[in-house]
């Protein structure tokens, strides 16, 4: 009896709607007094449907709304964009931390970093003061100095990247051949060719796979650097040159001691290619969500991190290893490290990462040059694949060029001159920012109303047209003469000057200085000639030849935002100012003292008369039907 009574109590109890995903506590007062379960359920769904809640879905809504895993992972319908740390910082770091860091580090690190820092700040200044598009280094130069200048320097930059990639690939092949004790130059070239083919396939697979591989390579590089730093605190190792931290060793290594045939500039020429990866983040401008924010933060963070690591390597090696071993043993970092294996892994990964980053950015620069139709012979390189417009044709061309340099062999002879294309490119970026800032100042001076116009009356005619309130008149802005009147002054800041914007305020904006950029440009040209003056002159002549060819082959090129600034005219005016001569900084124009009055009078060509006075004074036409024609025929 007790069991039956309990079953009756359970049967009489209202159902637990929470078990079925129905919250009875949220029911309306109209539904609260309803005790019939069927009516309650029906009215519950009616209530949910009326309020438009998202809980009223079909039974298999989740299954029908989700896509198969193979489509969601591999077939992407839209472009994949990246941010500061996964896009810019990672690309810069794996390109900056080159193989030479793990083979030879010296006191020249600080000077090399200062040289590239001015170019990075100039590039950041250009990105913030103009509209950012895809194209990397070519975009910076062509938008500022014009397509002729950008195309000529862009081709030189791509050539330097191709030679640099072949150097890293050859170094990777030599390292793998030594690892397996293979003394055959063709085996070394074979390993280098395999690396180029592998990385070309990864780049063709899409930018998503490149970024994923970059994360793995950067992690291995950090592990190798950490292994080296920890090993420096271990006890000395006899016969390896590692003597532990010693002030005497540091004093012996603090001053330079060049070997025969070497000097500061020759060492600079060998080391400088390791820090040329700072433009890798800028070359990703077309694959970033917010390039204006990601490029400055990511690039400067990568420079600070790599500078700290480079200086750490220099201090550790200079304080713990004797000079003789530093000069002869290129794998001394492995002997200093705690494990050594991680340093070797970092050595191999550094070669891969430099080639990967260069093969990612260089084809996009070529694709941008082809898309602008600067060089007609390169228009086939414009073709891209997928939502991100992967430059398949440009990537194939760059890969073939790198393979040719690797197969030729004896590539180490070109190592010193690899620095020259990068120095020329960075000098061009520095000068572009200087010209951009000067052009902005010229435009600002032009926007100021001349003083002679204040006392002149506005032109008045007998047939005046009332100015619209939206546009305003010239007299409405007389109070703004102190700040400078511009016809675009009523627009927002971004639209006020569509070409060049004012430098936004940030913690690094004081470093983006036009005079620092000008000094950096001159310094890079001088260093380029001091590293190898013959090759430097040949490179300058080749750049000028490309500039002239583009001007003849492509007539519709863009002049650039800084086309109003002339460097030689600026030099001339500066000398005149130093000599005390008057410098005319404004454009001379003739303004009439009193605009001539014009009177107009309406007159009718033919005078009206009484004939046909009942008709309106315009052409008239009438439709005549067949009934009217019959009536006229009968008459």
Task: Kindly state whether residues 170 and 255 are assigned to the same domain.
Answer: yes
Going by C-alpha positions, the residue among 171, 139, 170, 169 that lies closest to residue 153 is 139
Give the mean pLDDT of 226-234.
88
Domain end residue (candidates: 66, 90, 105) = 66
Q: Is residue 601 part of a domain?
A: no
Task: Kindly state whether residues 319 and 231 are assigned to the same domain.
Answer: yes
Task: Kindly state whether residues 33 and 152 are assigned to the same domain.
Answer: no
Q: The tokens 């390597």 sit on which residue?
A: 313
Cβ-contact 593, 457 below 8 angstroms: no
Task: Kindly state whether residues 58 and 182 are assigned to the same domain.
Answer: no
Q: Is the pLDDT of residue 87 over 90?
A: no
Q: Is residue 55 part of a domain?
A: yes
Reduced to 3 states (helix: H, G, I; strand: E, B; else coil), residue 503 is coil
Task: Kindly state whether residues 139 and 60 are assigned to the same domain.
Answer: no
Q: Is the pLDDT of residue 465 over 70?
A: no
Task: Kindly state whether residues 260 and 358 are assigned to the same domain.
Answer: yes
pLDDT of residue 561: 80
- 168-177, 215-224, 462-471, 507-516: the lowest-pLDDT one: 462-471
CATH of the domain at 422: 1.20.1740.10
Q: Is residue 514 part of a domain?
A: no
Cβ-contact 576, 458 below 8 angstroms: no
Q: Is residue 582 part of a domain?
A: no
Tokens of 451: 């003083």
Task: Kindly state whether residues 347 and 381 are assigned to the same domain.
Answer: yes
- Look up the domain containing 58 and give its range: 17-66
Q: Is residue 277 part of a domain?
A: yes
pLDDT of residue 542: 93
pLDDT of residue 543: 92
Q: Is residue 585 part of a domain?
A: no
pLDDT of residue 588: 58
Reduced to 3 states (helix: H, G, I; strand: E, B; else coil), residue 242 is strand
Task: Kindly state whether residues 252 and 285 are assigned to the same domain.
Answer: yes
Tokens of 130: 């103009």
pTM to 2 decimal places: 0.63
pLDDT of residue 541: 94
Task: Kindly state whether residues 331 and 361 are assigned to the same domain.
Answer: yes
194 or 250, higher pLDDT: 194
pLDDT of residue 57: 44
pLDDT of residue 606: 59
Say how far residue 599 (Cα) sits from the centre of its chain.
Answer: 58
For residue range 242-276, what is the model confidence (pLDDT) as tens digits?
888 888 887 777 666 666 666 666 666 666 666 66
Q: Is residue 603 part of a domain?
A: no
Ramachandran quadrant class, 373 (left: phi over 0; alpha: psi -120 to 50; beta: rest): left
Give the mean pLDDT of 363-388.
82
pLDDT mean across residues, the chain: 70
For residue range 509-552, what is the model confidence (pLDDT) as tens digits?
677 788 888 888 898 898 888 888 888 899 999 999 999 998 88
Task: Kindly state whether residues 148 and 61 are assigned to the same domain.
Answer: no
For residue range 277-311, what is the model confidence (pLDDT) as tens digits?
667 667 676 667 777 777 777 877 887 887 788 77
For residue range 12-25, what is the model confidence (pLDDT) as tens digits?
566 666 665 555 44
Task: Kindly state whether residues 44 and 191 are assigned to the same domain.
Answer: no
For residue range 489-515, what is the model confidence (pLDDT) as tens digits?
444 444 444 567 676 676 666 777 888
372 or 619, higher pLDDT: 372
Give the mean pLDDT of 577-600.
66
pLDDT of residue 257: 63
CA-CA distance, 458 to 402, in Å (whole number)?
66
Distances from the Cα of 205 to the Cα of 198, 360, 396, 402, 506, angstroms: 11, 11, 13, 19, 37
Say how many domains are in the chain.
2
């Amino acid at each position: 009896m007790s069991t039956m009574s309990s079953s009756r109590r359970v049967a009489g109890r209202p159902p637990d709607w929470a078990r079925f995903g129905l919250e009875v506590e949220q029911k309306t007062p109209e539904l609260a007094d309803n005790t019939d379960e069927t009516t309650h359920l029906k009215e519950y769904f009616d209530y949910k449907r009326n309020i438009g809640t998202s809980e009223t879905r079909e039974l298999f809504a989740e299954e029908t709304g989700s896509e198969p895993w193979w489509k969601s992972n591999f077939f992407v319908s839209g472009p994949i964009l990246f941010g500061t740390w996964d896009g810019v910082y990672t690309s810069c770091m794996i390109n900056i931390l080159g193989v030479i860091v793990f083979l030879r580090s010296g006191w020249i690190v600080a000077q090399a970093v200062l040289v590239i820092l001015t170019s990075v700040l100039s590039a950041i200044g250009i990105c913030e003061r103009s509209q950012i598009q895809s194209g990397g280094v070519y975009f910076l130069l062509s938008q500022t100095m014009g397509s002729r200048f950008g195309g000529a320097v862009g081709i030189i930059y791509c050539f330097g990247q191709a030679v640099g990639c072949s150097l890293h690939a050859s170094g990777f092949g030599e390292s793998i051949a030594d690892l397996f004790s293979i003394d055959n130059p063709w085996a070394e070239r074979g390993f280098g060719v395999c690396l180029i083919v592998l990385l070309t396939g990864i780049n063709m697979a899409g930018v998503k796979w490149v970024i994923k591989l970059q994360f793995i390579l950067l992690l291995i590089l950090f592990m190798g650097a950490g292994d080296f730093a920890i090993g420096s605190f271990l006890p000395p190792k006899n016969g390896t040159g590692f003597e532990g931290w010693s002030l005497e060793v540091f004093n012996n290594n603090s001053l330079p001691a060049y070997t025969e045939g070497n000097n500061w500039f020759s060492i600079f020429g060998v080391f400088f290619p390791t820090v040329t990866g700072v433009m890798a983040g800028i070359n990703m401008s077309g694959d970033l969500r917010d390039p204006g924010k990601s490029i400055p933060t990511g690039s400067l963070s990568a420079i600070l991190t790599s500078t700290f690591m480079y200086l750490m390597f220099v201090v550790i090696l200079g304080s713990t290893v004797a000079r003789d071993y530093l000069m002869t043993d290129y794998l001394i970092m492995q002997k200093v490290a705690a494990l050594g294996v991680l340093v070797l892994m970092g050595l191999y990964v550094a070669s891969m990462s430099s080639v990967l980053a260069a093969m990612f950015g260089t084809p996009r620069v070529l694709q941008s040059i082809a898309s602008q139709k600067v060089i007609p012979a390169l228009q086939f390189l414009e073709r891209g694949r997928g939502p991100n417009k992967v430059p398949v044709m440009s990537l194939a061309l760059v890969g073939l060029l790198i393979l040719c340099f690797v197969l030729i062999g004896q590539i180490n002879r070109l190592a010193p001159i690899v620095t020259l294309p990068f120095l020329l490119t960075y000098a061009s970026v520095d000068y572009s920012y200087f010209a951009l800032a000067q052009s902005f100042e010229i435009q600002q001076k032009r926007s100021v109303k001349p003083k002679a116009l204040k006392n002149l009356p506005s032109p008045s005619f007998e047939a005046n047209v009332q100015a619209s309130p939206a546009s305003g008149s010239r007299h409405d802005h007389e109070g703004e003469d102190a700040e400078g009147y511009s016809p675009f002054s009523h627009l927002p800041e971004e639209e006020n000057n569509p070409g060049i914007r004012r430098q936004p305020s940030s913690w690094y904006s004081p470093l983006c200085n036009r005079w620092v950029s000008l000094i950096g440009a001159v310094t890079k040209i001088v260093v380029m000639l001091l590293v190898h003056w013959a090759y430097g002159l040949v490179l300058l002549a080749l750049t000028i030849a490309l500039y002239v060819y583009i001007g003849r082959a492509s007539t519709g090129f863009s002049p650039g935002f800084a086309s109003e600034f002339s460097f030689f005219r600026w030099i001339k005016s500066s000398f005149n100012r130093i000599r005390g001569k008057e410098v005319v900084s404004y454009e001379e124009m003739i303004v009439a003292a009193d605009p001539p009055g014009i009177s107009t009078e309406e007159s009718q060509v033919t005078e009206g008369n009484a004939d046909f006075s009942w008709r309106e004074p315009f052409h008239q036409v009438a439709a005549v039907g067949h009934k009217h024609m019959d009536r006229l025929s009968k008459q």
